[in-house]
A and B are shown apart, each in its own frame.
Chain A
């Protein structure tokens, strides 16, 4: 029923284990995970550091920096800045490092370069 979860099925005959074991797919997976995991850990740590500071370091957060603007407000606004920055960074990383290789693999599968027996059938294009 997994197939049912998709509409197009030019892929019914594809050997996905074969695709999964290709170096190119391994590279795609590595590139994806080596970006999203460290980044997710980083922003979650930064977010919880901020929450904990606001919770337990009230005096530090209340230090005035400029006029009525204090450390807490600046750090809060920095959370917005880092969120926007990580968003932009991820989009540019995906466009450069993930999309091209994903499109390549997709084209090959949809052009049936892999069959059930794991043989590469080159030159078959739609």
Chain B
């Protein structure tokens, strides 16, 4: 998920800028036509937020893969493997295994119990207002940090791929990305956004597959000789062994454990991933979509293994590090090495499309959460009609889009990996304990939910603020100051267990009893899908 600056020598870029722009313009034109067509019958709130629950499992699974495989995964992991070898590969594994949590524990029960947002499920059998507000706040915080990371990355990545290097030009690129994203979401709603995700996922996976086969063909489809080539080119025999990046000190080892914990537990608590489960008609389709996404994402991460070591062998770590994008230039440089400007142009356009699609998915999730959880349920006290709610959601899209543009311009050049890791850690700390407890633990109470959500959210953000990511090191956001009293750059190992503990403690100490009828209703609904399935099978 590191995802800083991009790829490629500026000299290479000059030749391919027009080509990149052409391929990207084509992508925008084609997807825009599809979005407009798909949006013709967007009428109800369910149409707008949940695409009328009309997607099939495989379609939704592809869209989930599109949401999940951000440019951060593609450029970041390939680069991490090319430079840090084996340690980079461990990211892929964490990101993939995390999906089992979603599949086994969360996806189907969530689909059966909610309507549009994560807060629907969390507040189902607890006190509506406080729990809904807490869930909406954590959704907005997670989405905002994720958004900021994507926008800031878009600025640097795309500007360099298109050969724009001055600050004003980069700001212009961020504004264009933001404006396009607002248009997709306003016109297309969830349906349009989902189609953009599907197209992008297919392009990204196809592009990675072509490059993977190409690299393997060079080495006679022998993985061992590819690895040998990578070691030889890097001159470091430890490239294939663990510990190159994280094995340096005892603290860095614990930091890796903390990151591993946040990654494996964060995925099933990311609001924009959870919201995707509502775009399918039944729990069975929700299951199918997770299965599809596990296969696609798993396949993609296997490709990154070959691409990463391929970049190390064919391009070389020194060339990659010296390129303007540093570590993250590995994949585009490899594309240029293999297929010249044409493949580089294609891969660059796919990277741009990736950011656009991920940003659109995040925006609609945040807008739905604000309109549905805060406006309709709390401000209008459940009296708003669906049309007003959708109107509020659309306005929220514009506000969030503008905030993301402004934030992206100011965060441009900041350490983007920090923002993504924060989003994962916050999601795992603030949301996962409450999701798991409310689905599986009968005695869970409102007080437990509030303690866990606010405690998890607060502790995760506080610990990151006090970590070396923000101050006290050369790579910090504020390198001049030093208030880093927390040694780890990822808070997961502290904040996630703390949030689970607070959820338990708050429930045990709660004197108020929860409604057991609601608990029964939630349990029956979640396991049987009663009332949530479309009236097709009776």
Whether a CB of chain B sits under 8 angstroms from the CB of A126 is yes
Minimum CB distance partner of A125 in chain B: B538
Whether a CB of chain A sits under 8 angstroms from the CB of B498 is no
By the criterion CB–CB under 8 Å, are B257 and A106 in contact? no
Whether a CB of chain A sits under 8 angstroms from the CB of B295 is yes
Whether a CB of chain A sits under 8 angstroms from the CB of B246 is yes
By the criterion CB–CB under 8 Å, are A2 and B522 in contact? yes
By the criterion CB–CB under 8 Å, are B518 and A43 in contact? no
By the criterion CB–CB under 8 Å, are A83 and B529 in contact? no
Of B29-37, B95-103, B158-166, B500-508, which stretch is located at the interface?
B95-103
Residues facing A in B82-133 (CB within 8 A) are 86-87, 89-90, 93-94, 96-97, 99-101, 103-105, 113-115, 120-121, 123-125, 128
By the criterion CB–CB under 8 Å, are A51 and B284 in contact? no
A43 to chain B, nearest CB (A): 5
By the criterion CB–CB under 8 Å, are B96 and A6 in contact? no
B270 to chain A, nearest CB (A): 18
Separation of A109 and B243 alpha carbons in the complex (Å): 56
Residues facing A in B502-526 (CB within 8 A) are 516-518, 520-525
Minimum CB distance partner of B265 in chain A: A44
Category for how many chain B residues contact A? 35 or more
Separation of A107 and B103 alpha carbons in the complex (Å): 25
Grouping DSSP codes into helix (H, G, I), strand (E, B) and loop, the A interface class, with mixed when no group exceeds half, is: helix
By the criterion CB–CB under 8 Å, are A20 and B523 in contact? yes
By the criterion CB–CB under 8 Å, are A109 and B530 in contact? yes
Task: Determine the chain B residues whose CB is within 8 A of the CB of A109 once the complex forms.
Answer: 524, 528, 530
Whether a CB of chain A sits under 8 angstroms from the CB of B247 is yes
Task: Determine the chain B residues whose CB is within 8 A of the CB of A58 once the complex forms.
Answer: 241-243, 247
Separation of A5 and B114 alpha carbons in the complex (Å): 6
Minimum CB distance partner of A105 in chain B: B528
Q: Given A29-B527, A48-B260, A110-B530, verify A91-B97 contact (CB < 8 Å).
A: no
Separation of A50 and B257 alpha carbons in the complex (Å): 11
Q: Given A5-B115, A83-B96, verify A91-B291 contact (CB < 8 Å).
A: yes
By the criterion CB–CB under 8 Å, are B86 and A73 in contact? yes
By the criterion CB–CB under 8 Å, are A90 and B103 in contact? yes
Q: Quick one: which of A52, A67, A79, A90 contacts B97, CB cutoff 8 A?
A: A79
By the criterion CB–CB under 8 Å, are A40 and B240 in contact? no
Residues facing A in B468-525 (CB within 8 A) are 516-518, 520-525
By the criterion CB–CB under 8 Å, are A47 and B241 in contact? no
By the criterion CB–CB under 8 Å, are A110 and B86 in contact? no
By the criterion CB–CB under 8 Å, are A102 and B104 in contact? no
Q: Quick one: which of A7, A19, A61, A73 contacts B115, CB cutoff 8 A?
A: A7
Task: Determine the chain B residues whose CB is within 8 A of the CB of A61 once the complex forms.
Answer: 241-242
Separation of A68 and B234 alpha carbons in the complex (Å): 14
Of B70-78, B220-228, B315-323, B356-364, which stretch is located at the interface?
B220-228
Minimum CB distance partner of B288 in chain A: A91
B80 to chain A, nearest CB (A): 14
Residues facing B in A1-51 (CB within 8 A) are 1-2, 4-11, 14, 16-17, 19-20, 25, 28-29, 32-33, 36, 39-40, 43-44, 47-48, 50-51
Task: Determine the chain A residues whose CB is within 8 A of the CB of B101 once the complex forms.
Answer: 40
By the criterion CB–CB under 8 Å, are A73 and B253 in contact? no
By the criterion CB–CB under 8 Å, are B529 and A106 in contact? yes
Minimum CB distance partner of A104 in chain B: B528
By the criterion CB–CB under 8 Å, are A20 and B294 in contact? no
Separation of A5 and B135 alpha carbons in the complex (Å): 15
Category for how many chain A residues contact B? 35 or more
B20 to chain A, nearest CB (A): 33
B451 to chain A, nearest CB (A): 22
Whether a CB of chain B sits under 8 angstroms from the CB of A118 is no
Q: Given A25-B524, A55-B247, A55-B253, verify A9-B291 contact (CB < 8 Å).
A: no
By the criterion CB–CB under 8 Å, are B240 and A73 in contact? yes
Minimum CB distance partner of A94 in chain B: B287
Q: Given A80-B298, A94-B287, A106-B529, verify A1-B520 contact (CB < 8 Å).
A: no
B58 to chain A, nearest CB (A): 13
Whether a CB of chain A sits under 8 angstroms from the CB of B233 is no
Cβ proximity bits A88-126 to B, threshold 8 Å, 1 near / 0 not: 001100100001001101110111000000000000001
By the criterion CB–CB under 8 Å, are A50 and B93 in contact? yes
By the criterion CB–CB under 8 Å, are A8 and B46 in contact? no
Whether a CB of chain A sits under 8 angstroms from the CB of B430 is no
Interface centre among A39, A53, A110 (most CB of B within 10 A): A110
Q: Quick one: which of A17, A67, A83, A111 contacts B538, CB cutoff 8 A?
A: A111
- Which B residues are closer than 8 A to A by beta carbons? 46, 86-87, 89-90, 93-94, 96-97, 99-101, 103-105, 113-115, 120-121, 123-125, 128, 222-225, 227-228, 231, 238, 240-243, 246-247, 253, 256-257, 260, 264, 284, 287, 291, 294-295, 298, 301-302, 377, 382, 440, 516-518, 520-525, 527-533, 535, 537-538
Q: Which 3 A-B pairs have the closest CB atoms?
A: A67-B224, A62-B241, A68-B227
A and B contact pairs by CB, cutoff 8 A, 16 listed: A2-B125, A16-B521, A33-B440, A47-B94, A51-B256, A53-B242, A68-B227, A73-B89, A76-B90, A79-B97, A80-B93, A83-B96, A87-B103, A87-B294, A90-B104, A106-B528
- Which A residues are closer than 8 A to B by beta carbons? 1-2, 4-11, 14, 16-17, 19-20, 25, 28-29, 32-33, 36, 39-40, 43-44, 47-48, 50-56, 58, 61-62, 66-70, 72-73, 76, 79-80, 83-84, 86-87, 90-91, 94, 99, 102-103, 105-107, 109-111, 126
Given contact pairs A9-B531, A87-B294, a sample of 8 additional A-B residue pairs in the complex whose CB atoms are under 8 Å apart: A6-B531, A20-B524, A54-B243, A79-B97, A80-B298, A80-B302, A99-B284, A109-B524
